[in-house]
C-alpha cells in the first residue's frame, strides 16, 4: 500500500514507523527540514520538505498513485485542505485527517465532515480518543488498559498479576472449568519484556501483564478474579485544563455527578475559560508541581490524580509528588516512549500514550479485509482486532478444534446478534459474526487474509 503522511511530528513519526515496518510504501511531508531528516535517517520512508496541502508537494510525494493520505499536522486547516486537494486533483481513495479544535467537533456541526460536504473519509480527534481512554481507566481501577469492541459489548482488559493474584500458577484451561459462566479469555501474556499469545496450558506468574478479552458486563468480575478490588475514585484532581482535561471533566460531570472534581491549570486565561464552562468542578490556577497548590486542592484526601498537561516531565513529577503527599493513586499521560520503562520504579500506577491511541485508530483503516477495529499493544508487538466474518472466510462453519489458525493468533470472543460467546472447541463461527482476537505483529497479515472478501464472493 502506498501511503502519504502529512506531518512528521510524534504522531506522524509513529504512524510512519508502524507502516514502514509492514513493508508499505510510505512518504512523509513536513515543513521542517530537521524533522524530515530525522525520520528518513531512522525509518525506511521517503521524505519531502514542504507544505502538505500544496498540490506540487503532494505530487512529488506520489499522490497520483497513493492509496491513502493521512494528514496529522498540528494545524486542522492544513489537514482538511490536504485531504481536499488529494481528492480533487489526485483522487486518493482514502483520506484521514486529524482534527484537534473541538469547535469543529460539536454535535450541532456533525454533518460538517460528511462525505457530501468534505472529501474526508475519517476524522480523528486525539484529544477525544485519549479522553475516552482516561475515562475508561477511571471507571475500572485495577486495569492497566481497557478498550471496547463490538459496539461496547466486548472489552480488552490488561491486568497485572500481583503477588496475591488468585489465578497465578493455574493453567488457563482450568479457569474456564472453574468459572464456566465468566465470559473472559486470556489471549496474551507480557512477561519479562516479551509479549506472547496465551495457550490453554499456560500458567500466569507474578509480574505478568495478562491481556483478557471479556464481555463488557464481566469486566469488574474479571478484575476481581485477578485480585483487583480497587474502588472507583470519587475524589479526583485533573492537572491540565486543555482539551483532554476539559473533555474528561465535562463527561464526569454529566455521568458521575457524585464525583468531587478539581482541575489545576497553570495558564490563567485557560483556567478562567474552563471554570466558566464547567458547572460543579473547582478550578485552581497554579502549577501541579507547587506543593501549596496541591495542598489547597486537598491532595491528601484525593483518590486519584490524573496528569494531563502537555509536558511529560511535569506529568511524571506531579504524579510522584501527589502520591508522596497522600494521594491514593495516579494516572499519567506520557508521550515519549523513553519514559515508559521507568514509570513503575517511580510509583506511577497507570499511564496512557496518546500516540499509541491515535495510531490504533489509523491502523483500523489501513488493515485489509473486514477489519472493524484495531488496538495496538506493547508498542505494536501485537494487536487486538475486531473483524467481521463473511461467507467466504475459511473460519466459517468449522469447529474451533478443526481450525488451522496461524501461529500468534488467539480468538477471545464472538459477538453474534446481541450475544457474546466465549469460544470453546465446539464453537463454530457463522457469517456476519464479529470476532475479537489477539494477533502478534507477524500474524496480522494472516488475519487480514482470513477476513478478506475473496473473488468468488462476487
The answer to whether 235-327 and 357-451 have equal CATH topology is: no
Q: Cell numbers for 368, please give them.
A: 485489509
The pLDDT score that the predictor gives to residue 106 is 80
pLDDT at 193 over 60: yes
pLDDT at 456 over 80: no
Considering the segment(s) 2-124 as one domain, its CATH architecture is: 3-Layer(aba) Sandwich (3.40)
Indicate the CATH number for domain 235-327. 3.40.50.720
* Residue 385, C-beta contacts closer than 8 angstroms, at least 6 positions apart: 367, 371, 373, 374, 436, 437, 438, 439, 444, 447
Q: State how far the Cα of 386 lies from the Cα of 411, in Å rounded to an integer.
A: 10
Predicted confidence band of residue 176 (pLDDT cuts 50, 70, 90): confident
The pLDDT score that the predictor gives to residue 126 is 85
Q: What is the mean pLDDT of residues 187-192?
A: 95
* Residue 125, C-beta contacts closer than 8 angstroms, at least 6 positions apart: 98, 99, 100, 102, 105
The pLDDT score that the predictor gives to residue 458 is 30
* Chain centroid, CA 359 distance in Å: 8
Q: What percentage of the chain exceeds 70 in pLDDT?
A: 98
For 203-231, the pLDDT digits (tens) are: 999 999 999 999 999 999 999 999 998 88
- Dihedral pair phi/psi, residue 25, rounded to 5°: -90, 105
Please state which of the ranges 130-139, 296-305, 342-351, 373-382 shows the lowest mean pLDDT. Answer: 342-351
The pLDDT score that the predictor gives to residue 103 is 84
Nearest to 437 by CA among 402, 399, 397, 400: 400
pLDDT at 384 over 80: yes
The pLDDT score that the predictor gives to residue 457 is 36
The pLDDT score that the predictor gives to residue 455 is 40
In this structure, the number of other CB atoms found within 10 A of the CB of residue 137 comes to 22
- pTM of the model as a whole: 0.84
Work out the mean pLDDT of the chain and round it to a whole number. Answer: 91
Q: What is the mean pLDDT of residues 110-131?
A: 86
Taking the domains of the chain in order of start, what are their residue ranges? 2-124, 235-327, 357-451
Q: Cell numbers for 139, please give them.
A: 471507571
Q: State how far the Cα of 358 lies from the Cα of 299, in Å rounded to an integer.
A: 31
Decide: helix, strand or coil at residue 405: coil
For 427-444, the pLDDT digits (tens) are: 999 999 999 999 999 999
Give residue for cell 450541532.
108
Considering the segment(s) 357-451 as one domain, its CATH architecture is: 2-Layer Sandwich (3.30)
The pLDDT score that the predictor gives to residue 340 is 67
Amino acid at each position: 500500500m502506498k501511503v502519504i503522511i502529512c506531518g512528521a511530528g510524534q504522531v506522524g513519526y509513529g504512524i510512519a514507523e508502524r507502516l514502514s515496518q509492514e513493508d508499505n510504501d510510505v512518504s512523509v511531508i513536513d515543513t521542517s527540514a530537521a524533522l524530515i531528516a530525522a525520520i528518513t535517517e531512522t525509518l525506511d520512508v521517503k521524505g519531502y520538505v514542504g507544505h502538505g496541502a500544496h498540490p506540487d508537494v503532494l505530487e512529488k510525494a506520489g499522490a497520483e498513485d497513493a492509496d491513502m493520505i493521512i494528514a496529522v499536522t498540528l494545524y486542522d486547516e492544513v489537514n482538511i485542505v490536504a485531504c481536499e486537494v488529494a481528492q480533487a486533483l489526485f483522487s486518493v481513495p482514502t483520506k484521514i485527517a486529524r482534527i484537534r479544535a473541538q469547535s469543529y467537533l460539536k454535535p450541532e456541526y456533525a454533518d460538517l465532515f460528511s462525505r457530501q460536504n468534505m472529501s474526508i473519509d475519517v476524522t480523528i480527534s486525539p484529544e477525544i480518543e485519549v479522553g475516552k481512554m482516561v475515562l475508561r481507566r477511571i471507571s475500572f481501577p485495577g486495569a492497566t488498559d481497557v478498550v471496547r469492541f463490538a459496539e461496547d459489548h466486548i472489552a480488552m482488559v490488561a491486568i497485572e498479576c500481583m503477588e496475591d493474584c488468585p489465578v497465578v500458577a493455574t493453567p488457563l484451561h482450568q479457569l474456564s472449568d472453574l468459572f464456566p459462566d465468566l465470559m473472559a479469555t486470556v489471549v496474551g501474556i507480557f512477561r519479562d519484556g516479551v509479549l506472547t499469545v496465551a495457550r490453554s496450558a499456560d500458567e500466569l506468574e507474578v509480574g505478568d501483564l495478562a491481556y483478557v478479552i471479556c464481555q463488557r458486563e464481566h469486566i469488574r468480575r474479571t478484575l476481581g478474579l485477578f485480585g483487583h478490588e480497587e474502588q472507583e475514585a470519587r475524589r479526583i484532581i485533573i492537572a491540565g485544563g486543555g482539551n483532554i482535561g476539559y473533555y474528561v471533566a465535562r463527561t464526569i460531570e454529566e455521568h458521575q455527578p457524585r464525583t468531587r472534581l478539581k482541575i489545576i491549570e497553570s495558564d490563567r486565561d485557560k483556567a478562567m475559560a474552563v471554570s466558566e464552562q464547567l458547572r460543579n468542578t473547582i478550578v485552581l490556577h497554579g502549577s501541579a508541581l507547587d506543593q501549596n497548590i496541591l495542598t489547597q486542592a486537598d491532595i491528601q484526601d484525593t483518590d486519584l490524580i490524573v496528569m494531563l498537561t502537555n509536558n511529560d516531565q511535569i506529568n511524571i513529577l506531579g504524579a510522584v509528588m501527589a502520591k508522596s503527599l497522600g494521594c491514593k493513586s495516579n494516572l499519567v499521560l506520557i508521550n515519549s516512549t523513553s519514559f515508559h520503562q521507568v514509570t513503575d520504579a517511580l510509583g506511577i500506577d497507570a499511564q496512557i500514550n496518546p500516540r499509541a491511541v491515535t495510531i490504533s485508530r489509523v491502523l483500523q483503516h489501513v488493515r485489509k479485509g473486514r477489519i472493524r477495529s484495531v488496538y495496538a499493544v506493547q508498542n505494536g508487538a501485537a494487536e487486538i482486532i475486531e473483524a467481521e466474518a463473511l461467507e467466504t472466510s475459511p473460519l466459517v462453519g468449522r469447529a474451533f478444534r478443526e481450525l488451522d489458525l496461524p501461529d500468534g493468533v488467539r480468538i477471545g470472543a464472538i459477538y453474534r446478534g446481541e450475544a457474546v460467546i466465549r469460544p470453546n472447541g465446539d464453537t463454530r463461527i457463522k457469517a456476519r459474526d464479529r470476532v475479537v482476537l489477539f494477533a502478534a505483529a507477524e500474524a496480522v497479515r494472516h488475519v487480514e487474509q482470513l477476513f478478506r472478501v475473496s473473488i468468488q464472493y462476487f
